[in-house]
Amino acid sequence: MDEIRERFERLKRQLKRKFNKNKKPKNRAKNRNRKHPNSEQRKKQLKSRERSELAKEAARDKLRPKEALDRKNAPTNKKRKKKKITKEEFERRKKKKRKENIVEIVKFMLPVVLFAVFVFFFILNTSPHMVDGDSMSPTLLNKDRVIVRRTKEPKRYEIITFKPPVKSDFQYVKRIIGMPGDLVWTEGSDLFINHQAESLPKVSELSAANELPDGTIKVNVSEDCLDQMSQLKKIPKGHYFVLGDNRNNSSDSRAFGLVDGQAIEGVVSFRFAPFDNIGWIK
């Protein structure tokens, strides 16, 4: 049986070889028939194009410098080895990046700051002022820097800066307590200010605190202030009575009397230094 199988396999192989030999020339004939009749012309055209391109390339190479040709002909390494970065190099690059970021921030913020300064000092007609002393603590502390609005009309309880009617190298910062038109009267060394009453209380009621009109403020004043205020029934137009928030450590209207409106620089509106206490002033 094995011999018969072997013979059968040999016959199969022989038949396949004969079949393949007979098939090859047919395929070649078919391929020859498929060729376009103008294939020879196309070959000639392609050759002529290749020659013209080579000639152009040669002309370009003549015009290029030798270094460029060497670079062109030099083999390029597609895969470049990454250079290992040391810790020192990494830190140096990090610091450089930080500096660049800071410079960019400064470039961006500088025009904004300049514009804000222009608006504050020219358009809004404001000026900076430094607080000297602790007469306005805890609202304002020594060395605080504030913005003063010079065009704003002062109102009751607002903080103002002004040139005091006494000899001083600095402008004072105080809070307005008495406005023009407020009723005023004195009793001993005490001054009474009221902005709600329409007329002065009776003489018999002056000493009784429980009989005083609503909104009356009682202040102990100096002799100079008492001489000035005892002659008045109302605070004159364009004059203000001012006090410091720190009453125990403040030289104000209790000592020198009323403040002329023309001596007022402006109203304190904003504190810009120190930076941890920036904000609007009330």
Question: What confidence tier does 119 reach under pLDDT thresholds 50, 70, 90?
Answer: low
Residue 142 reports pLDDT greater than 90: yes
Residue 137 reports pLDDT greater than 90: yes
Residue 223 reports pLDDT greater than 50: yes
- Among the listed residues 39, 143, 174, 237, the single catalytic one is 174
Bigger pLDDT: 166 vs 174: 174
Bigger pLDDT: 16 vs 93: 93
Give residue limits of the domains in the chain: 86-123, 128-280
CA separation for the pair 140, 136 (Å, rounded): 5
Q: Which pLDDT score is estimated for 35?
A: 47
232-278 confidence digits (pLDDT tens): 999 999 999 999 999 999 999 999 999 999 999 999 988 989 988 89
User: Catalytic residue at 135?
Assistant: yes
19-28, 194-203, 228-237: range with highest mean pLDDT: 228-237
CA separation for the pair 102, 277 (Å, rounded): 24
Compute the average pLDDT of residues 48-73: 63
Residue positions counted in the chain: 282
Q: Which pLDDT score is estimated for 177?
A: 95
Residue 122 reports pLDDT greater than 70: no
Compute the average pLDDT of residues 108-129: 74
Question: What confidence tier does 183 reach under pLDDT thresholds 50, 70, 90?
Answer: very high
Angle at 158 between CA 209 and CA 174, to 5 degrees: 80
- Among the listed residues 47, 72, 87, 135, the single catalytic one is 135
Of the CATH numbers 2.10.109.10, 3.30.70.260, 3.20.20.70, 3.40.50.620, which one belongs to the domain with range 128-280?
Answer: 2.10.109.10
pTM listed for this prediction: 0.57
